[in-house]
Amino acid sequence: MKPTKRHLKMLYHLVRILLGVIFLAASWNKILNPEAFAQIVANYKVLPPQLVNPTAYLLPYIEAVCGLSLITGFWSKGGALIVTVLMVVFVSLFIINKFRGFDTNCGCFSLQTQPGHSISYYLVRDFGILTAGLWVFFYKFKSDRTRIINEM
């Protein structure tokens, strides 16, 4: 059975809101505990020490704004684009650390410095989130373009 435009639109809203909830939830503990998140950022060993604290303070707010954007649908294309870029960065960091032999906690939902899962688990999960972000962005991009063409 081929999905109809209505089904795709419903799926778009569901995936967009779910993605928003994921990012809003991921930001919550980091906003409340920036020092603990700074330790996780430092454990990745990819940033110079001068950038660890600014990253740990700024990143959770970017995640929260993107999450709210996706949940509300306000600027959702921009929110989806930023989420997709963030996921590319996160997946890249996991791959880099896997090759370097570092097994760190991702810091996504837990601020424990010890890994809760393997890097492979985080990679699979984050590829799924990346795929959802790409789909939301391109669905919105295509539907906006179609709407503009139809209005001409």
Q: What gap in Å lies between CA 65 and CA 67, rounded to an integer?
A: 5
Side chain identity, residue 105: N
Domain limits, the chain: 5-145
Residue pair 27/67 in contact by the 8 Å Cβ criterion: yes
Closest CA to 60 of 111, 135, 112, 114: 111
Spatial neighbors of 147 by CB under 8 A, at least 6 apart, are none
pLDDT of amino acid 148: 58
Confidence band, pLDDT 50/70/90 cuts, at residue 45:
confident
Q: What does the CA dihedral 44, 117, 124, 66 come to, rounded to 10 degrees?
A: -60
- Residue-wise pLDDT tens digits, 85-129: 999 998 998 888 888 887 777 777 777 666 666 777 888 889 999
Q: Give the Cα separation of 137 and 57 in Å (integer).
A: 26
Determine the Cα–Cα distance for residues 32 and 19; give it in Å rounded to an integer.
Answer: 21
Q: How far is CA 126 from the centre of its chain?
A: 8
Q: Helix 34-43 to helix 49-72 angle, to the nearest 10 degrees?
A: 110
